Structure 1
Amino acid sequence: MMQPVFIGSEIYRGSSYGVQHPLAIPRVPTVIDLCRAMGWLPRAQYRTSPRAKPLALQAFHTPAYITALQRAEAAGAVDPATRDRHQIGTLSNPVFPEMFRRPATAAGGSLLAADLIAQGGVVHNPGGGTHHGMADHAGGFCYLNDPVLAIKALLAQGLTRVVYVDIDAHHCDGVAAAFDGDPRVLMISTHEERRWPFTGALEDRAGAQAINLPLPRGTNDSGFAMALEQVILPAVADFRPQALVLQCGADAVTEDPLSRLALSNNAHWACVAALRDLSPRLLVLGGGGYNPWTVGRLWSGVWATLNGHEIPDRLPEPARAVLAALTWTRRRGDRPDYLIDTIRDAPRHGAIPDDLRRRVQILQARQRIWV
């Protein structure tokens, strides 16, 4: 099996949704720079992401929507009718100079990944994971839906069992909509309860075979470990996937401004490590994440985990300098030293809410019925 492949692009460097937007921060460039500073990203394992062509995007998105994105990028504006229909030019999904090229590059990376793992393998595309995009409109900072496009490409290869696991703080409503009723896809999502987009309730069966586990506010590493060991891993093993797509959104950690979960990055890395050997094909995507230090550290650790690299307790100076150079206008108060001195968070264990235990038990009972 080939070494894991990292897919990146320089389009993310300097590209921003606007200075007031949560995605004003650098994310993929920080991961690239940090992994290179650690000696974890040799040229042989790096691929430059292509930009997906409009025809390839039509595997999920409507031609009218793709055209609207291209026209909005070229004009730098949208008319009211386009805004209402396609939900672009809004506060969440603004017009910005790369508003078609950047998401099309993320989609191209995930489509390339599907090709690379056709015969087996592992790919990390941290620019991907835009799981809120709908066929005809944008949603939740997501203009296109690269997880859906990647899964459709894997299914087009003839695969009949694909698992999609999503551990972002926000529910993957776009993926659920895309594969509703498709028995070839098992969708598993953990996400913060009562948070936008307000889908993915425990009883919500939208999606092919959907397992939704809403996490109570404040869920820590102990609670996530229970979800992983008692819900996610058994369900994946039972499905016997030919391919697995993991959306590894970084917004579920304590320091993220857009969620109220309390995970450390160890929880994400444990999930990556546990899923690594459950399928011959693995694609790990990025997703949410709105604190520049936590995102860069978490996704760099994902890459280290996929490659079996040891994560040191303290960073060497070149890697530390990458994190020390970051700035963030939303930061209030002093920046904790650990955000630039280390990659690994201190574990955040603690009590598990009774509500979470009850939901896990319900899903376990439901899984026994399915099996």
Structure 2
Amino acid sequence: MTPMPIPLPRGPAPAPLFIGSEVYRGSSYGDWHPLRVPRVSTVIDLARALGWLPRADYRTSPRARPAALTAFHTPDYVAALERVEAAGWASEADRERHALGTVSNPVFPEMFRRPATGVGGAMLAGALLAQGGVVHQPGGGTHHGMPDRANGFCYLNDPVFAILALKAHGARRVAYVDIDAHPCDGVEAAFARDPEVLLISTHEAGRWPRTGALHDEGVGQVFNLPLPKFSGDDAMALARDAVILPAVQRFAPDAVVLQCGADGLREDPQARLDFSGHAHLGVLEGLRPLAPRLLVQGGGGYNPWSVGRLWTAIWGRLSGQELPDLLPPEAQAVLTALRFQAGAPSVIPPPGLIARLLDAPRPGQIEGDLRAGVQHLAGRLRAQV
């Protein structure tokens, strides 16, 4: 029997809200790291240049307190993260035990404050959604963080705290959908055995950390769908229509969290998928009516132009804006000012990454391995009815 969502009080839906922070503007993982690029600050600036982010719709993310972080992370790890930020260096013990000060998870001045702000924003989103509505938190989505260690550029796991916060504020059943190019190993570690959390992940097959195999099922509420390299918009549309939406509809969640990583876009240097922004917006539009609460987070994304454009387009769609065919000069100026140091002279993007929020659709091919994976997951869904 399909469960019924918890009813919310009647009345008009709250206006969509945007959670941001200036900590993202002033911090970087280092000049050589993939997360050296501006992302959240670009979304804020671009949305404001378009007139889409009035003060009434913006909320400043608080920073989660260390004690609150122990709802998922171990006290020793939280203490180590604070200690290494304060010292500016990681001991050999911190590197070995907690993966701090490594190539992937370097020491930088805001290495505790920045991810703690992401967790604070996720917790705030859970509270803001208590009566239903929509929240966009582009600074969220750090889905690799583990209880006792940093992992894959993620020091803390704010999607886990988003799910916990939604539950604490009345959402008994939460569907977490992750369309990042990388598997959501940290979120799966937290909830793979929780029957009241549905986990769906589409990701590039064989991409780090090489988890999220098709047959990784947890206790029956975990659906992993690896996508072949160079999959385009049609592959995501197939995943959406045959797996994501049927699974969420059957689960009947009280809340949906969509991790909307931008690293599946063609221009991203950290993956080999071939999406346009239409792939992400299609998933977003399909999920939006399926629960009274929707939180859309960021995630991966390492090309500053493509990630800024996508997450701004998502906010535009969430807030009811008409996406322009051509960006006005003020918005183009935000994108023109970005620089992407890639070890040589600054990369100058092609004009399309400056003039428009969305590229033309990129249909791509649907390979046999994907069709077989979809058939397998669709069979699991039919068996659960």
Could you say which TM-score interval applies, normalised by the shorter chain?
Answer: over 0.9
Deviations 1:2-47 (A, max 9, x none): 1110000001112100000000000000000000000100000000
Pick from 42, 48, 51 the counterpart of residue 39 of structure 1: 51
- Specify which of 346, 354, 367 is matched with residue 368 of structure 2: 354
Q: After superposition, what is the alpha-carbon deviation per residue over 1:149-192, rounded to whole angstroms, capped at 9, x for unaligned? A: 11112222343211000000000000000012110100000000
Which residue is equivalent to 2:277? 265
Is this contact kept in 2: 1:182–1:208, CA < 8 A? Answer: no
C-alpha distance in 2 between matches for 1:108 and 1:280 = 22
Counterpart contact for 2:130–2:170, Cα < 8 Å:
no
Q: Given the superposition, is the C-alpha separation of residues 357 and 332 from structure 1 closer, same or farther in structure 2, using an over 3 Å criterion? A: farther
- Counterpart CA distance in 2 for 1:97 and 1:216 is 38
1:201-240: CA deviation from partner (whole Å, max 9, x where unpaired): 0011137710000000010001110110111001000000
Ranges of 4+ aligned residues in structure 1 off by more than 6 Å: none
Contact 1:176 1:208 in 2 (8 A): no
Could you say which residue in structure 1 is the equivalent of 2:311? 299
- Identify the residue that residue 319 of structure 1 maps to in structure 2: 331
1:60 corresponds to which letter in structure 2? Answer: F
Q: Which amino acid aligns with 1:308?
A: G
Give the residue type in structure 2 aligned to 1:230: A
Instruction: Tell me how large the CA RMSD over aligned residues is.
Output: 1.2
Instruction: Indicate yes or no: 2:104 matched with 1:92.
Output: yes
Q: How many positions carry a matched residue from both structures?
A: 371
Aligned residue number for residue 265 of structure 2:
253
Which whole-Å CA distance do the structure 2 matches of 1:119 and 1:258 have between them? 38
Most deviating of 328-337 and 42-51? 328-337
TM-score (norm 1): 0.98
- Unaligned runs of 5+ residues in structure 2 are 1-12
For residue 5 of structure 1, what is the aligned residue in structure 2?
A: 17
- Return the alpha-carbon distance in structure 2 between the equivalents of residues 50 and 67 of structure 1: 19
Q: TM-score of the superposition, structure 2-length normalised?
A: 0.95
Distance of 1:351 and 1:131 partners within structure 2: 28
Farther off after superposition, 288-297 or 263-272: 263-272
Matches within 5 A, 1:1-371: 1-206=13-218, 209-330=221-342, 335-371=349-385
SS in 1 for 2:290: coil
Q: Which runs of 5+ in 1 are unaligned?
A: none
CA distance in 2, matches of 1:154, 1:113: 8
Cα shift at 1:333:
6.6
Change (3 A) 1:332 1:355: farther
Partners of 1:189 and 1:294 in 2: CA distance? 21
CA-to-partner distance for each residue in 1:240-261, whole Å, 9 max, x for gaps? Answer: 0101100000000100000000
Q: Match of 1:359, SS?
A: helix
> What are the Cα deviations for residues 44-97 of structure 1, in whole angstroms up to 9, with x where unaligned?
000000000111111101111100000000000111011111011000000000
Distance 1:156 1:208 in 2: 23
Alignment partners' CA distance in 2, 1:86 and 1:127: 23
Structure 1 letter corresponding to 2:377: L
Are the counterparts in 1 of residues 231 and 274 from structure 2 also a CA contact under 8 Å?
Answer: yes
Between 1:23-32 and 1:322-331, the stretch displaced more is 322-331
- Contact 1:14–1:26, Cα closer than 8 Å, also in 2: no
* 8 Å Cα contact 2:340-2:346 kept in structure 1: no
Percent identity between matched residues is: 63
1: distance between equivalents of 2:349 and 2:299? Answer: 24
Distance 1:62 1:207, change over 3 A: farther
